[in-house]
Amino acid sequence: MALTLTAMRMFVALVEEGSFTAAARRENGTQSGVSQQIRKLEAHYGVKLVLRERAGARPTPAGQRLYRRCAALLRGLSEAEAELRASGPGLEGEAAVGLMSALTRCAMGPALRGFRDDHPNASVRIVEAVSGQLIEQVSADALDAAVVPAIEPVGPLIGRPLPAVPEMLVSRAPTGAGGGPHMRPVDLAARSPLRLVTLPAGNLRTRRILGHLALLGAEVEEVLELDSMFGAFEFVANSDWVALMPAVMLLPEIRDASLCVQPLAGPPLTLDLMAIQPRRRALSPIAAGFLEALEARLRRDAPLWQVGGPDRAAGGAGAASRAEAAG
């Protein structure tokens, strides 16, 4: 039988890496070993599977179909192994999960503490990076999974949606306003012109935010790119600049009004989240367990960023205190 597990792994690695050298490195083999495996498959089935080019290799239509089948088979085997590992008394080992800074400020800590309480012998290594870097690291097998803005998974990646989070306008808190516009919807077109602090222009969220403002007819007078969402907090707090930030990272400000946080009126703008993982293997039980804990945290915190805040109209200070104690 030519289509052995070794041959499937090497073929999948070649298609995903686009290079015999990179495929050999990933599978701890040699370039000639990978090439021989592919030639054996082609000779056995009498069909060309890859086009060998100066820049590397790419699959033929037949090779692309075989890749999808092999990736599904390898994933099924990986899922069976994961189910066996998860059937024991508790999870053990380590997983690496990538998160954007939007999730590390408020959601990561409670989710990770709860997961570690349930699985004291399991370790989750968190890697914080921008979405583009996280996608690259999951594709390269450097991370078990990552949470990024929703994309169309292609090639070596698959994904599943997580709860969406609304984007909110953040500005300097007004003084002596008795709460003022805090947690009250804002019309961005009427609030124009905006002096907007954003992540760099190539960021997925930044592109969506600028597109949404254009759709609303909101004028942007000036844009300041800061490659740090936490740096944006300090800048906005001490200037007349504003920012659009996901509600999940604004829970302290929603509770104490140290910054003016406002939901957006009109068409919603949300940070649509997705958990991505390599296509060819199952998510490890540890990574899957942590992502489940993170999703549960997002659903639990959602009432806090609803319009008006947590029971704000009926004496919200006490409700906010109760929510903070529960967190």
Q: Which amino acid is at 322?
A: R
Q: How would residue 154 be classed by pLDDT, with cut points 50, 70 and 90?
A: confident
Give Cα separations from 275 to 98, 127, 132 (angstroms). Answer: 9, 14, 14
In whole angstroms, what is the distance from residue 19 CA to residue 140 CA?
A: 13
142 token code pair: 């450097």
CATH fold of 91-162+272-316 reads: D-Maltodextrin-Binding Protein; domain 2 (3.40.190)
**DSSP one-letter string for 54-97:** TTEEEE-HHHHHHHHHHHHHHHHHHHHHHHHHHTSSS--EEEEE
Is the pLDDT at 192 greater than 70, yes or no? yes
| Domain residue limits, the chain | 5-85, 91-162+272-316, 165-271
The pLDDT tens digits for 6-65 are 888 889 989 988 999 988 888 888 888 899 889 999 899 899 999 988 888 999 999 999
Instruction: Give 265-284 pLDDT, tens digit per residue.
Output: 988 899 999 999 998 888 88
- Tell me the average pLDDT of the chain: 86
Q: Which amino acid is at 156?
A: P
What pLDDT score was predicted for residue 327?
42
CATH architecture of 165-271: 3-Layer(aba) Sandwich (3.40)
Contacts of residue 77, Cβ cutoff 8 Å, sequence gap at least 6: 5
- CA angle at 15 for the pair 12 and 17, rounded to the nearest 5°: 100
On the question of a common fold for 5-85 and 165-271, the answer reads no
> Rounded distance, CA 286 to CA 97, Å?
10
Strand ranges, E, within 185-293 = 194-198, 220-225, 242-246, 259-263, 270-271, 273-278
Q: Angle at the Cα of 86 (from 80 to 89), degrees rounded to 5? A: 145
Residue whose C-alpha is closest to residue 108's, from 98, 119, 117: 98
CATH class of 5-85: mainly alpha
Entry pTM: 0.72
